[in-house]
Structure 1
Amino acid sequence: MGQYQRILAAIDQSALSEQVFATALGLAKSQGAHLHLAHCFTLPLPTNLDFGDRYRASAKEFLAIAQEQMDATLEHTRQWLDTLEAQAQEAGIEVSWDWRGGEVGPQICDIAKQYEADLIVIGRRGRGRLQTALLGSVSNYVLHHAHCSVLVVQHSNDKKNPQP
């Protein structure tokens, strides 16, 4: 048995997420660990202007459109997570997944705690200081608030690190 028995991979549908998944999958395989995939999405916060200006519709019509969009997004996300689950199973890894809406950093920490993760694998996009100050950093939040170890997979910027 390895050092890690319960690995949580915090993933979204970005290219960096593919690296996070591959890293977590490799660790789970080498450690004989269970892998848990966690995906969080932020819910839109409509304002009064959204109803009239953006959708030229009433609140009832806005909610119907928003529900359709959310249903389509959730179905696409479920299929994506099912595909990753199948890939992990093909590699001989025990795997499960969860998704949640809300503020991503706190949700990842909550999922990790409930799952009793030994390790969280998460990506870092490498935003500049100004973007991080304005937008925040999920990986930074998780690094400072998680109850367990955190492995941060750095986004490789092709301009900074050209491939031969």
Structure 2
Amino acid sequence: MYEILVPVDGSAPALRAVDQAVAIAEGKKDVEITLIYVSPSPVYFPFYSMVGPSLDADVKEVEEKEGNQMLDDIIEKASEHTNVTFKKKHLYGIAAQEICDFANDTKKDLIVMGNRGMGAFGQVILGSVSNKVLHLANCPVMIVK
């Protein structure tokens, strides 16, 4: 089975990456597309811990619900006109590291991702997620503009 990983965040480039992955998968046998969404862990926001652990749990619950809803919506839209198999995964942590760890651990054959996500501020502070994935992944990475 050929396995494609597509990191998504709801941005236009990420949705174009989903379309590109579907185009690659269509007409081939045994292709699976896994959509992955990485929420920042509350650990990375020190002010949460000042309020207390209950806020951490609340934030995680909201993130879980919103992240899974976004993944479900993208899968529903993408699967309307294709019979490609989709899976989803919601993780917490630093996006580039989580994407690469997941791709490497599950032996994905290809990562298809948008060139820019929603977090312009995060890109200035942390650097481009797509650039980091390009350099850290053990499999080929396709960057979609």
| Shorter-chain TM-score range | 0.7 to 0.9
Alignment CA distance shift 1:49-1:99 (3 Å): closer
Report deviation, 1:108.
Answer: 0.7
RMSD of aligned residue pairs (Cα, Å): 2.5
Q: CA separation of 1:66/1:28 partners in 2, compared to 1, >3 Å: closer, same or farther?
A: same
Q: How many residues align?
A: 138
Cα shift readout 1:38-77 (whole Å, capped 9, x = no counterpart): 11111233436973xxxxxxx4xx4323322321221121
1:5-44, aligned counterparts within 5 Å? 5-32=2-29, 33-44=31-42
In the TM superposition, structure 1's runs of 4+ consecutive aligned residues that sit over 4 Å from their partners are: none
TM-score (norm 1): 0.72
The question of 1:136 aligning with 2:127 is answered yes
State which structure, 1 or 2, has the greater radius of gyration over its C-alpha atoms.
1
Consecutive unaligned residues of structure 2, counting only runs of 5 or more, are none
Residue 64 of structure 1 aligns with an amino acid whose one-letter code is: S
User: Does structure 1 residue 147 correspond to structure 2 residue 138?
Assistant: yes
Kept in 2: contact 1:11–1:39 (CA 8 A): yes
Q: 1:112 aligns with which of 103, 109, 122?
A: 103
**Pair 108,21 (structure 1): closer, same or farther in 2 beyond 3 Å:** same
Residues 49 and 67 of structure 1, relative CA distance in 2, 3 Å threshold: closer
Q: Which structure is richer in relative contact order (CA contacts within 8 A, separation 6 or more)?
A: 2
Residue type at the aligned position of 1:84: I
Q: Which amino acid aligns with 1:20?
A: A
Q: Which moved more, 1:141-150 or 1:31-40?
A: 31-40
TM-score by length of 2: 0.80
Relative distance call for 1:132 and 1:70 in structure 2 (3 A) is closer
| Residues 1:49 and 1:101: Cα distance change in structure 2 (over 3 Å) | closer
